Amino acid sequence: MPNPYRVAVVVGSLRKQAFSLRIGQALAKLAPDALKLEIVTLHDLSFYNQDLEAQAPADWLAFRDKIKSADAVLFVTPEYNRSIPGVLKNAIDVGSRPYGQSAFDKKPAGVVSNSPGAIGAFGANHHLRQCLTFLNMPVLQQPEAYVGGVGDAFNEQGDLVKDSLREFLQKYIDAFAAWVAQQYK
């Protein structure tokens, strides 16, 4: 049983001041000792192209290794046009191949979607869950995390200043820790 469990936090936005990144960083701070969260950003990940698989680019291999070496994966994603951003879908595609060697296989996962809007990126959350089902990843079901109204949650330095969100993220990451431990029993 790993101690702590290593959690790859895959951030679905490339924006420097992304709310998704800030939420990932806030979760890393709030995480109990049983978890070690490591932020994985997607800036250097090139597009998946099956033609390149025989000599896979170094950035694909590095991403696959990061996921393989994690005990669990936490996706923090914004919503683009009621779905997940292309960079996140590309990361899922890269990590899922070569066929039969998916880095994601059987890893416990969580989904934290977020938006400045009111719906909390529900569409992205569930499009992502559809991929995770196919990837054979057990996903924490409750609490669900549709984080809406994120626009006023952080100050200019990126610190979480919204108490209601801090309380929710604390509950979420505690539940995630307990649930990940259960998956490894």
Helices (H), the chain: 19-30, 58-68, 86-96, 122-134, 163-183
For tokens 């994966």, the residue is: 73
**The tokens of 15 are what?**
């924006």
Using CB under 6 A as the binding rule, whether residue 168 contacts ligand FMN is answered as no
Identify which range of 49-57, 73-81, 86-94, 159-167 contacts ligand FMN by CB under 6 A.
Answer: 73-81
To the nearest whole angstrom, how small is the minimum distance from the Cβ of residue 84 to ligand FMN? 10
Using CB under 6 A as the binding rule, whether residue 80 contacts ligand FMN is answered as yes
Give the C-alpha distances (Å, rounded to integers) separating 96 from 86, 101, 106, 132, 136. 15, 7, 12, 10, 10
To the nearest whole angstrom, how small is the minimum distance from the Cβ of residue 4 to ligand FMN? 26
Closest CA to 41 of 79, 88, 82: 88
Of 29 and 82, which CB lies nearer to ligand FMN in the complex structure?
82
To the nearest whole angstrom, how small is the minimum distance from the Cβ of residue 183 to ligand FMN? 27
- Using CA atoms, how far apart are residues 126 and 50, in angstroms rounded to an integer? 26
Q: Pattern 1-40, binding to ligand FMN, x per CB under 6 A?
A: ------------x-x--xxx--------------------
Of 51 and 156, which CB lies nearer to ligand FMN in the complex structure?
156
Contacts (CB under 6 A) with ligand FMN, residues 99-158: 115-117, 121
Amino acid (1-letter code) at residue 85: P
Cβ neighbours, 10 Å, residue 81: 8
**The tokens of 138 are what?**
């057990």
List residues binding ligand FMN (CB under 6 A). 13, 15, 18-20, 78-82, 115-117, 121
